[in-house]
Amino acid sequence: MVLGYRWSLSENYALGVETGYSRLGNFGSSILESVTFAFLGTPRAVPQGSSWKLRTRAMSLGASMKWSVSGPWTLMAHAGGIRSHATVDEGYVFMFLSRSRHLTTDRNGIYAGASFGYDITPQLTAALTADVYRVKFENGFVAGMHTNYIRVLGGSLEYRF
């Protein structure tokens, strides 16, 4: 969800500010399998592998630009800063040993995006959007900060008062 205000610079151009909140999705992978080996002459199946999950949210503050290209067609661009909250859950299992971690990271980052829209009415625009968010998070087993670029393709409806 994004809220903003745009000032008209001319008949075809407008410049504005925006703020918003985005749920940037859940990502993860899991490689868990059973391995069979003989223990005291009896075959035993034991688990081994790893799992990883990242959940990210972001609050944004930035600038936006709208250009009325031709008739009802518009191009829009926006960019700014974000404050992201990333949660990482990791697990590793090998035979009878297991290890897991839960980490949260709050960091500053940036975002940028563009959209191509159509003015349905003078107050309503429908658009196709493409955004990129740069999110940093701490990984538990591989120590240090990691940077993830989250790309979002979608649609938007803009209502103007």
Distances (CA, A) of 140 to 47, 53, 65, 68, 91: 21, 12, 39, 47, 10
Distances (CA, A) of 104 to 89, 119, 138, 140: 9, 41, 7, 10
Long-range contacts of 149-152 (CB under 8 A, 24+ apart): 150/24, 150/25, 150/56, 152/22, 152/24, 152/113
Q: CATH no. for residue 52?
A: 2.40.160
Number of domains into which the chain is organized: 1
pLDDT at position 119 is: 94
Domain span at 76: 2-159
Q: Per-residue confidence of the chain (161 residues) as pLDDT tens digits?
A: 899 999 999 989 999 999 999 999 888 887 877 777 676 777 777 667 878 888 999 999 999 999 999 889 999 999 999 999 998 888 878 777 777 888 888 999 999 999 999 999 989 999 999 999 999 887 655 566 788 899 999 999 999 88
